[in-house]
A and B are shown apart, each in its own frame.
Chain A
Amino acid sequence: MEPTDIGQSDYFHKVVDCQWACPAHTPVPEYIRLIADGRYDDAYMINWKSNVFPGILGRTCDRPCEPACRRGRVEDEPVAICRLKRVAADNKGDIAHRLPTAPAAKNGKRVACIGAGPASLTVARDLAPLGYHVTVYDGDAKGGGMIRSQIPRFRLPEEVIDEEVGYITGLGLEMRLGERIDSLKALLEEGYDAVFVGSGAPRGRDLEIPGRQEAAANIHIGIDWLSNVSFEHVDRIGRRVIVLGGGNTAMDCCRTSRRLGGEDVKVIVRSGFEEMKASAWEKEDAMHEGIPILNFLVPKAFTHEGGRLTGVTFEEVAPVIDDRGRRTLVPTGNPDQHFECDDVLLAIGQENSFPWIEREIGMEFDRWGMPVVDAATFQSTLPGVFFGGDAAFGPKNIIWAVAHGHDAAVSIDLYCRGEDVRQRPAPGVTLASQKMGIHEWSYDNDVSNDLRFKVPLRDREVALKNVKVEVELGFDRELGFAEAQRCLNCDVQTVFAPPACIECDACVDICPVDCITFTDNGEESELRSRLTAPAKTLSQALYVSPELKTRRVMVKDEDVCLHCGLCAERCPTGAWDMQKFRLDMTLAGSSCQSR
């Protein structure tokens, strides 16, 4: 293999698995260390800069970082990264003075954001401090988008939304709430320098099967029903409820029903349990609240009597692998099953809809009715119009909406300055030695043996009584500290200086996870097979040195390195050093240097 080019910013970034997996590339280990240190304000601000909604995300994030977390590869479970974010948010002091402010002198550019969800609010947050006049339109009366309208209060209290939405609206935005945009054409005619479409994916899918019309009064589209609950237009549901669908919306529907009078609440899904779209923890939380999940049942008809819903009939299916190796669901032939209920909630998917975008303004749409949007710049085919969040590529989640928002803001800034939106500034990267003394490092390199801690929950009886009572209590400071100590500090990199190495093997011998090998060079797949421990995780890089004195090379498999620094402590010549990698994502207004 060729020697690894560690100067290339992606190399060490990928080693920080959590940060690499986070759509907004939040410097996770950095904030976790600050939490362990009790520096909650600093931990919060690092998050706020990257992901804009630390308190909200610390309760609701889809956490793509956790399945990626290295800790999950050396023991059972990853670090509770998401809930640590909440520890920072819960324990911080007043950080208002650390927030940016909008400059008194504006730059003369006006940007309109359609929707006040996380995508638009991120665009606004990134642009307002640069002097842009940002106008945010939303049909709803309050900002937050689906964070406010969909996510139930028992998962996310309204004060947290108010606080973090408030930090952004406080930047001097022009908030036009309660104003729905019915015509993009008309809006464009108002002469904005750029428009950002962050209108989400607001339409819940319906289920047209027999009985749908007749029993309509007790069949509800899940997301419409949830927003009615959030805005307090609905506060009751029948005693027996069936939720159709297997995603996170279904989980929120069933758990909300349990709090609004639903005693016998079931989730019924056409797929198997494993294939359900809902995250493992969402399913766990639902089942914990006494909600059974029934699988492999396809709804066939709503039954009704005298205009009232009486139940749902299902056909039983089973997974079968066809001759092309594809998994399909095939009816088992068993008799149909009927479940009685008073209400049905449909949570079988969400769609985009852009009836308010006139096709004659020249914006290109694909055959699924989605706007054609560039995946890197978020620019539509109408140069001044940008998309992001669920509106860009279909429903995702908050952290993706934020990441889109950051990138779209960079584009809007470049566009408004008359620059090429494709020439994007590179992220800021630093690498600095953490050595403080012979065996002293600026980070705590003693690896904790603790297993993942569970977040304490409110007593179930109390939690089920009120839809606004938050279920999770969050880690307290002690638990937060202990959980933070599980982080392996993957951003503190092992950096190898080949000329210093005397090939004494000390690092090979001490490494607790057999990362390091001195061997003859070879082609990658062959080299992977003959390391101290075969390197089977192909997505994880091999760090290969140039040829050493004995004509061998040093090969380090990054896969399960604990970043414990023992190799560097054992090295007699300082050929290994532990250096902290810091990557600051490009935000709008970053100085321009091409990647």
Chain B
Amino acid sequence: MTFLAKPKLHHPGLPTNALGFNRRDYEGAISTLCAGCGHDSISAGIIQACFELDLPPHRIAKLSGIGCSSKTPAYFLGSSHGFNSVHGRMPSVLTGANLANRDLIYLGVSGDGDSASIGFGQFAHSIRRSVNMTYVVENNGVYGLTKGQFSATSDKGSKSKKGVANTDQAIDLVSVALQLGASFVARSFSGDKHQLIPILKAALTHQGSAFIDVISPCVAFNNHPGSTKSFDYVRAHNEAVNSLDLILERDEIVADYQPGTVELVTQHDGSVLKLRKLAEHYDPSDRLSAMTYLQQRQAAGEIVTGVLYVDPEAGDLHEHLDTTATPLNQLGDAALVPGAAALAAINASLR
């Protein structure tokens, strides 16, 4: 970690986006995580993604739980809304915030402990309800903040820093998210921003519950030989199914590919995912075969990354509940407090 604030001076050639901001305008306070932590790279990826998408910082809400990973929202998007919930409760707080104000862009940031251990139920329900959000798990296989105990995503047989092997079965959050109906599912690696940033951008523009499992080595407690979440292990076993370019509506699509090698997926907001196939026959629009493929490759010891599943037509919680299109804070008192007569009418209709 560093004690100094990052100098304000920036590169003279730093580009600005459509809003007139440069990338550094999307930064937050200086990180207090361990030097070299994968989570810091993910923060840098989020900063870059929001900058490139021209997102207005004040229209983003970042929510997290407890853990090193959950601390990171302090280190990016310093001008955005933030909520640091109790351990494992980010998904509920996010769901509530989303119901109240559907106009914000919701970014949930969590850890493997926060989401797969204490918050497993919360995680599952926010996904199955199709909350319109980007849900990022910074997955290091340990409870980093409490000094490196195995978490629920730690692979069976993976060794602790002291050399003790994990005997429990791992929860694969990507498989769970697929099963629970997430409409955008991806996995990436903190050490590969070329892959991570387009995925973050695609998730942020996706309508529906977008889940990203980002493997993020803990340099302090889980980056040794024998760990399956170390830089070296992940680099050696990483198998990307595709590579992604996100093309925004304003950009022109250039047909620079061989037929059959690239798939174009148009999202609700008009953005297009340009997916270049890396694994033959992999089809990210087929949930069932995606799940099968993941199980097969995992059994073969591979870490499958890329955009694993996307349903561009998915609806979200608001659509399912048929809620008002107006955020609650923009409704007048008359609409928000319809009075005793209106309540009586509702009750009567349910008798």
Which stretch (B34-42, B95-103, B161-169, B175-183) binds chain A? B34-42
In the complex, the answer to whether B6 meets A512 with C-beta atoms within 8 Å is yes
- B11: chain A residues at CB < 8 Å are 74, 513-514, 533, 560
Bound together, the chains give a CA A533 to CA B2 distance in angstroms of 23
Note all chain A residues with C-beta closer than 8 A to B13: 533-534, 536
Given A504-B36, A570-B35, A572-B36, A447:B7 Cβ within 8 A? yes
Residue of A504, A510, A536 with most chain B CB atoms under a 10 A cut-off: A504
Please tell me which stretch of A81-89, A199-207, A476-484, A561-569 contacts chain B, meaning at least 4 of its Cβ atoms lie within 8 angstroms of it: A561-569
Residues in A neighbouring B231, C-beta threshold 8 A = 502-504
Contacting pair A506 B7 (CB below 8 A): no
Closest residue of A by beta carbon distance from B220: A572
Closest to B13 in A: A533
B36 and A570 contact, CB distance less than 8 A? yes
* A572 touching B35 in the complex, CB below 8 Å, given contacts A445-B4, A566-B2: yes
In A65-82, which residues have CB < 8 Å from any B CB? 73-75
Return the CB mask of B15-46 against A: 1 if under 8 Å, else 0: 00000000010000001001111101101100
The 0/1 profile, CB within 8 Å of B marked 1, for residues 501-527 of chain A is 011111011101110000000000000
Residues of B close to A506: CB separation below 8 A: 35-37, 40-41
Which chain B residues lie closer than 8 Å to A573 at the CB level?
A: 36
| Cβ-based interface call for A571 (8 A) | yes
B336 within 8 A of A: no
Size category of the binding interface on chain B = 20 to 34
A447 touches B9 (CB 8 A): yes
- Interface bin, chain A: 20 to 34
- The chain B residue sitting closest to A564, CB to CB, is B7
Which single member of A439, A446, A549, A571 contacts B36 (CB below 8 Å)? A571
User: How near does chain A come to B28, taking the closest CB pair, in angstroms?
Assistant: 12
Indicate which residue in A445, A449, A505, A513 contacts B193 across the interface (CB closer than 8 Å): A505
Cα A564 to Cα B30 in complex, Å, equals 14
Docked complex Cα distance between A549 and B191 (Å): 13
Contact B41 A509 (CB under 8 A): yes
What separation, in Å, do the CA atoms of A564 and B3 have in the docked complex? 12
- Chain A, residues 361-373, CB within 8 Å of chain B (1/0): the string is 0000000000000
Q: Roughly how many angstroms separate A505 CA and B37 CA in the complex, as a whole number?
A: 9
Binary flags per residue of B199-210, CB closer than 8 Å to A gives 1, else 0? 000000000000
Interface presence of B8 (CB below 8 A): yes
Write the chain B residue with the least CB distance to A71: B9
- Find chain A residues with CB under 8 A from B2 CB: 439, 510, 566, 569-570
Within the assembled complex, what's the spacing in Å between the Cα atoms of A442 and B34? 22
Give bound CA distance, A569 to B9, whole Å: 18
A593 CB-CB contact with B under 8 Å: no
Does A539 interact with chain B (Cβ within 8 Å)? no
What separation, in Å, do the CA atoms of A439 and B4 have in the docked complex? 9
The docked-state distance in angstroms from the alpha carbon of A74 to that of B13 is: 10
With A504-B191, A506-B40, A572-B35 known as contacts, the answer to whether A73 contacts B6 (CB < 8 A) is: no
Q: Which residues of A contact B320 (CB under 8 A)?
A: none
Contact surface of B with A, Cβ cutoff 8 Å? 1-14, 24, 31, 34-38, 40-41, 43-44, 190-191, 193, 217, 219, 223, 231-232, 235
Not counting A512-B9, A570-B35, a sample of 4 additional A-B residue pairs whose C-beta atoms are within 8 angstroms of each other reads A502-B36, A502-B223, A503-B231, A510-B31
Query: Could you show 8 A-B contacts with beta carbons less than 8 Å apart?
Result: A74-B10, A439-B3, A504-B36, A504-B217, A509-B41, A533-B13, A536-B13, A566-B4
